[in-house]
Chains A and B, each alone.
Chain A
Amino acid sequence: MSHEHEETSGRLYGLMAEFEAPQRLLDATRTARGAGYRKMDAYSPFPSEELIEALGAHHSKLPLLVLIGGILGCLGGFGLQWWVNNMAYPLNVGGRPLTSWPAFIPVTFECTILLAGVTCVLGFFALCGLPQPYHPVFNVTRFTAASRDRYFLCIEADDPQFDTQRTRAFLEGLGPAEVSDVEY
């Protein structure tokens, strides 16, 4: 996997370093960010707050999406009941008000939850770009270990600082088990 293929750099997605310990990956990510690399991603078998901070990831937009979904669900659920009882199918039950709102609360609540939850899951997929049937990182054979006990740092070729040879040397200096080309 790790042949030198500088000639194919037009088809190179990036360079990937494999680490055996999570602390190594964290240190490497911090060093890479310190060296000015921005277009990179770290891969580990479990979530890590420190790793996300080291990558300089922004706050997730998901909570805002979920809030919007919840508000729409709430208004939609109540609006549906109001419209049905006042416009579409008004039923006079012993002269009681058509908008008997306390009885509408359970359905309004459930609609709020439903829309917030569905927005959360769809939003999560959208923000992660899932489902993604193909991604170049999987072309590195060793990469399947990212879901077991190996840790990877991939610096992507479209980073302005990326230079196949210099970046490779940089990654080699971080104490990886291996550095591989990630081809498209």
Chain B
Amino acid sequence: MSVIRTGGYDRPGIIERPEVLAPGHTAGSVTDRISEVILQKTPKWFYPAFGVSFMLLMVLVFSMAKLFLEGTGIWGLNVPVAWGFAIINFVWWIGIGHAGTLISAILLLLRQEWRTSINRFAEAMTLFAVACAGIFPLIHVGRPWLAYWLLPYPNTMGMWPQFRSPLIWDVFAVSTYATISLLFWYVGLIPDLASLRDRSEKKIAKILYGMAAMGWRNSARHWHEHEVASLLLAGIATPLVLSVHSVVSFDFAVGIIPGWHATIFPPYFVAGAIFAGFAMVLTLTIPLRALFGLEDFITQRHLQNMGKVMLATGLIVAYGYGVEIFMAWYSGNPYEWYMVTNRITGPYKFHWMALILCNIVAAQLLWIRQVRQSAVALWIVSMFINVGMWLERFIIVVTSLHRDFLPSSWGMYHGTIWDWAIFVGTIGLFLSLLFLFIRFVPMISIFEIRTLLPEARALGAEPARSEDSPR
């Protein structure tokens, strides 16, 4: 599928780029095509796909029941590695979520119109990834039924949380992130839910979409407030997304463990989060756009741009790795330097090499235009990055802890079957939520796609008029 721009770019030396929306669409065809995905009969492939995801979700429920009955002893945690899969998976999931906010908020403020068609989907991915991430700290506290003690509320014990602890910062950062992401997503959905209310034939669908749309009637005055609210929420979410992964990195950086105590952590974690998140967006959109035939809306241009963002953030991540090693050497601290040499040549050296292969070597393929233009090649690279980013968190958590200051406390860490079961189970939760989302809610923002149409542009339709695509 390649839609080549016909107008614009007649200046010599500028390569023609695919459009963000295939030509020939009208407001009616856009609305019908995207809502058809939901209003049509459930496609046959949906049942096995959702079934497998749901089975994995049941694995999560089962292994969490086992955990609650027997305690964290079923995990591979032990001194000195008292943080294992739970924190690795938490950071991995929450990082994946960050691409959604980047696409929905930062690219909106930067008026990148190509974000429009992947925005809704990426935001949903954020919500579901945060839901998966949120499970881990809660089940990791040992007595999960008392997890609400983390919140500041007046209680008969007369106790309050320790606000100087990064773990409490995490509680505030992640719960704020989840709340704002959900609100932002819902506000963006309201006009599309109204479209579905007006399109659906079945009474029950009309009632449910009608309730969810809250009586939206496409009034120009409401559109005005909607635009203002979207921009404000984008402006709020932009510093929020940067703060969330910075706070997550403080969980490590504030500790005095060699390999954690580094000022590069906040920016390096944020870049890694966006890197991982775009990889996940590609991993999911490439098969979905083929299955639903949505190539008119998610074009080559989107895939290429996401490839470029991955390349750029991947280079920042590679720089982060380099700075970590350099600072360990430059500090002259023997513990820091030992940690680096142990990380590269110690018992976890194969994990480290796999990390470099996935996150640095594989990402360099994105320099090649043919790779960025091929959906299959992009999908393969994105899978490498998904694995690589998980390994990165494994390396950071485990190799920093397993060689304690005292050699008598040294140890090794491996996840048990229950560690893996819970991790795989959260993938099941993520995919189950995702399949329900694409079945019941438009996965591409219909009203925002309408603003890309020529007749909407003539009326000064917002948002995201991109400066780089003259018309």
Contact = CB atoms under 8 A, between A and B. Distances in A.
Interface of A: 21-23, 26, 41-52, 55, 57, 60, 62-63, 66, 70, 80-81, 84-85, 88-89, 91, 100, 103-104, 106-107, 109-111, 113-114, 116-118, 120-121, 123-125, 127-128, 130-135, 137-138, 143-149
Given A62-B232, A132-B215, A133-B215, A124 B226 contact: yes
Contact of A47 (B166, B199, B226): B226
Nearest to A133: B215
28 contacts: A42-B220, A43-B219, A44-B218, A45-B31, A45-B450, A46-B27, A48-B220, A52-B220, A55-B220, A60-B225, A62-B225, A62-B229, A100-B164, A103-B163, A107-B163, A110-B240, A111-B176, A113-B176, A114-B176, A116-B236, A125-B214, A130-B190, A130-B214, A131-B214, A147-B197, A147-B199, A148-B28, A148-B31
Interface stretch (B88-96, B333-341, B385-393, B458-466): B458-466
Contact of A44 (B179, B220, B228): B220
Contacts of B228: 60, 62-63, 124
Given A110-B243, A120-B229, 12 more contacts: A46-B456, A50-B459, A62-B225, A62-B232, A89-B158, A110-B169, A110-B176, A111-B176, A113-B180, A114-B179, A120-B233, A124-B187
Contact of B199 (A26, A80, A121, A148): A148
A20 to B, nearest CB: 11
Nearest to A96: B164
Contacts of B450: 45-46
B218 A52 contact: no
Contacts of A88: 158, 160
A22 B460 CA distance: 11
Contact of B173 (A51, A52, A62, A110): A110
Contacts of A21: 455
Nearest to A102: B164
B23 interface: no
B172 A107 contact: yes
B180 A80 contact: no
Contacts of B66: none
B460 A113 contact: no
Interface string B208-226: 0000001111111111111
Among A106, A127, A130, A134, residue most surrounded by chain B Cβ atoms (within 10 Å): A106
Contacts of B456: 22, 46, 48
A43 B220 contact: yes
A117 B447 CA distance: 22
Contacts of B236: 66, 70, 113, 116-117, 120
B100 interface: no
Among A62, A103, A125, A128, chain B packs the most CB atoms within 10 A around the CB of A128
A133 to B, nearest CB: 6
Nearest to B227: A47
Contacts of B161: 84
Contacts of B237: 117
Contacts of A106: 166, 169, 172-173, 243, 247, 250
Contacts of A145: 198
B159 interface: yes
B168 interface: yes
Contacts of A117: 176, 179-180, 183-184, 233, 236-237, 240
Given A41-B220, A62-B232, A149-B26, A124 B459 contact: no
A23 B218 CA distance: 17
7 smallest beta-carbon distances between A and B, as pairs: A132-B215, A131-B214, A144-B198, A47-B223, A149-B27, A149-B28, A124-B229
Interface string B427-471: 000000000000000000001001101011011111100000000
Given A106-B247, A148-B195, A43 B217 contact: yes
B258 interface: no
B220 A134 contact: no
A148 B160 contact: no
B239 A113 contact: yes
A120 B226 contact: no
A151 to B, nearest CB: 9
Contacts of A111: 172, 176
Contacts of A127: 225
A138 B179 CA distance: 32
Contact of B27 (A70, A128, A148): A148
Contacts of B199: 144, 147-148
| Best-buried of A62, A88, A110, A143 by chain B (most CB within 10 Å) | A110
Given A52-B221, A131-B215, A137-B217, A103 B455 contact: no
A22 B225 contact: no
Nearest to A105: B169
A146 B197 CA distance: 12
Contacts of A146: 198, 217-218
A149 B172 CA distance: 43
A18 B216 CA distance: 18
Interface in B154-207: 158-164, 166, 168-169, 172-173, 176, 179-180, 183-184, 186-187, 190-191, 194-195, 197-199
A135 B169 CA distance: 44
A9 B86 CA distance: 67
B152 interface: yes
A60 B219 CA distance: 15
Contacts of B152: 80, 84
Contact of B219 (A42, A50, A91): A42
B113 to A, nearest CB: 13
B191 A147 contact: yes
A80 B191 CA distance: 38
